[in-house]
């Protein structure tokens, strides 16, 4: 008899658990009292955690069940039902379920990726070096196609090619080197100054943070996973100051700053706007330094555009968008300089910045010859992944205020949320391709799952709380 009572009670608990966890826990308590039965400990733990954190509950980290297996949001689950029940999405490339793997889903979407016009400035590149082939394939919709194997040859060259010239990168606020390689290509090198598990001090404003090259590497792979293909190739690399930098370095700005520390290590500090002095040197062990080297987009004419969501320096002065949530409607959408494609580009950048925690998005870059009909190059992500417990709500301001998102971007985010693959898991696996794996400290990977849920929650609120029409929020512009 006890076995029958346990079976019936447990079936009811599992049924109610799918819809209402409060009822499930209460039923467990009743079973305990009436029948002398025990309740699943995981359910009781989940209940106690859920209602101690603003309706968001934390359970044991999982690589299956999508990001919501780690962080679940009830309004996002409801939003997914709305998405899946839309007749205009059923049977399309953007239909999502929790069965198909994320990589298969992304591959399917990439089959409809549109090619655009190629860069005319690359026509003069007639060589056969990987960087030349890469630049000749750049077009107005993406830097490279995901199936093009040239990306891996470029990454190999960035990591292994001998260096022939080193100079300070002009205009950089930190110590950033611009290097020439022996095959004629150019690269940018940023030095890893802080350990990967060292978080930004909570009292520091973002402008005083040290850039983290490992964040640049992680952002490159995140850009790939989200199907953007807009971040230049970047890979981790170790350099020997004595062998790779001093013989080829600019004498005044680099070589003359080389010295030995009291510990006997070879150091230099270069010249730049910040963190380039005897007080902030880069020191080897004894002369070996680690960092990340990214491809320089040789020959391309790039235009810099100030973002409407820029921040004041000093940061404690607030701009209009930080004080007025109607800013997008009154100042951005009404501005004829911003086409719909440009607005959606800002949404994609906002997605990247919120997931990585990058507050330092003061401008964006485009290929000049394409004007507004192109993508934003996802440069300058070195101030991301600095605070694993802090979610930068202001980084999501473009999405929250404009209530806009590309259909293709939304579909990929939803797919990672419902699984079976979580965002943290697919990025962790992708980062194994970099020689400095693990690239990210584990709490930063965990934070991605939490931020993904919050991002989707904001999009859901645009429709279900603010009352925006679906077609005014989710835009299918034919690009992905």
Active site members:
360
Q: Is 322 annotated as a binding residue?
A: no
**Widest CA span of the chain, in angstroms?**
88
4-11: Cβ within 8 A, 24+ apart? 5/35, 5/37, 6/35, 6/37, 9/35, 9/37
Q: Is 118 annotated as a binding residue?
A: no
Alpha carbon distance 196, 193 (integer Å): 9
Q: Is 250 annotated as a binding residue?
A: no
Alpha carbon distance 196, 188 (integer Å): 20
Q: Is 186 annotated as a binding residue?
A: no
**Whether the bond into 286 is cis, omega within 30 of 0:** yes
Give me the half-sphere count of Cα atoms (radius 13 Å) on the Cβ side of residue 447: 18
Closest to 102 in 3D by CA, of 423, 459, 391 = 423
Q: Is 211 annotated as a binding residue?
A: yes
Element (H, E) at 151: helix 150-160
Q: Structure tokens of 274?
A: 């910040």
Q: Please state the three-class secondary structure of 71-92 as a single string.
A: EECHHHHHHHHHHHCCCCCCCC
Q: In what order do the strands lie in the sheet with 234-240?
A: 163-168, 176-181, 186-191, 288-295, 234-240
Q: How many other C-beta atoms lie within 10 A of the C-beta of residue 307?
A: 16
User: How many residues are given for the chain?
Assistant: 480
Q: Structure tokens of 95?
A: 């239909």
Phi first, then psi, for residue 442 (nearest 5°) are -55, -40
State CA 210 to chain mean position distance: 18
DSSP characters over 295-354 = E--TT--EEEEE-TT---SSTTS--HHHH-TTHIIIIITT-TT--HHHHHHHHHHHHHHH
Q: Is 135 annotated as a binding residue?
A: no
Closest to 411 in 3D by CA, of 143, 106, 147 = 106
Binding residue positions: 190, 211, 294-297, 365, 380
Binding residue positions for Mn(2+): 211, 380
Binding residue positions for ATP: 190, 211, 294-297, 365, 380
């Amino acid at each position: 008899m006890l076995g029958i009572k346990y079976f019936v009670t447990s079936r009811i608990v599992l049924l109610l658990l799918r819809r209402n966890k409060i009822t499930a826990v209460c039923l467990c308590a009743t079973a305990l009292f009436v029948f002398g039965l025990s309740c699943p400990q995981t359910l009781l733990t989940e209940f106690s955690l859920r209602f101690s954190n603003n309706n968001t509950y934390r359970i044991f980290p999982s690589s299956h069940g999508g990001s919501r297996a780690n962080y679940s949001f009830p309004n996002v689950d409801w939003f997914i039902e709305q998405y899946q029940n839309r007749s205009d999405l059923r049977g399309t490339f953007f239909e999502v379920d929790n069965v198909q793997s994320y990589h298969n889903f992304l591959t399917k979407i990439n089959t409809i990726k549109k090619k655009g016009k190629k860069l005319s400035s690359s026509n003069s590149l007639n060589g056969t070096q990987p960087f030349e082939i890469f630049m000749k394939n750049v077009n107005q919709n993406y830097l490279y196609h995901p199936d093009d194997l040239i990306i891996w040859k470029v990454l190999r060259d960035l990591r292994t090619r001998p260096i022939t010239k080193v100079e300070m990168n002009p205009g950089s606020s930190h110590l950033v080197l611009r290097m020439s390689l022996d095959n004629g290509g150019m690269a940018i090198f940023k030095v890893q100054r802080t350990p990967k598990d060292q978080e930004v001090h909570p009292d520091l404003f973002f402008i005083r943070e040290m850039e983290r090259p490992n964040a640049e590497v992680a952002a490159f792979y995140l850009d790939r996973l989200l199907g953007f293909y807009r971040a230049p190739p970047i890979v981790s690399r170790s350099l020997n100051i004595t062998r790779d930098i001093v013989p080829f370095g600019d004498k005044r700005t680099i070589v003359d700053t080389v010295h030995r520390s009291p510990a006997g290590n070879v150091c230099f500090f270069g010249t730049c706007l910040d963190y380039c002095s005897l007080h902030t040197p880069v020191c080897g062990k004894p002369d070996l330094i680690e960092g990340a080297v990214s491809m320089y987009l040789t020959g391309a004419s790039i235009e810099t555009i100030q973002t409407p969501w820029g921040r004041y320096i000093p940061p404690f002065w607030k701009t209009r968008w930080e004080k007025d949530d109607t800013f997008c409607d009154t100042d951005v959408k009404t501005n004829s300089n911003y086409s719909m494609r440009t607005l959606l580009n800002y949404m994609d950048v906002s997605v990247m910045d919120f997931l990585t925690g990058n507050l330092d998005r003061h401008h964006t870059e485009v290929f000049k010859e394409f004007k507004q009909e192109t993508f934003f190059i996802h440069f300058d992500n070195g101030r991301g992944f600095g605070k694993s417990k802090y979610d930068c709500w202001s980084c999501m301001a473009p999405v929250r205020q404009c209530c806009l998102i590309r259909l293709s971007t939304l579909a990929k985010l939803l797919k990672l949320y419902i699984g079976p693959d979580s965002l943290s898991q697919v990025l962790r696996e992708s980062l194994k391709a970099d020689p400095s794996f693990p690239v990210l400290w584990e709490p930063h990977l965990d934070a991605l799952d939490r931020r993904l849920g919050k991002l989707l929650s904001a999009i859901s609120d645009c429709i279900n709380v603010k009352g925006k029409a679906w077609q005014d929020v989710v835009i299918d512009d034919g690009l992905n």
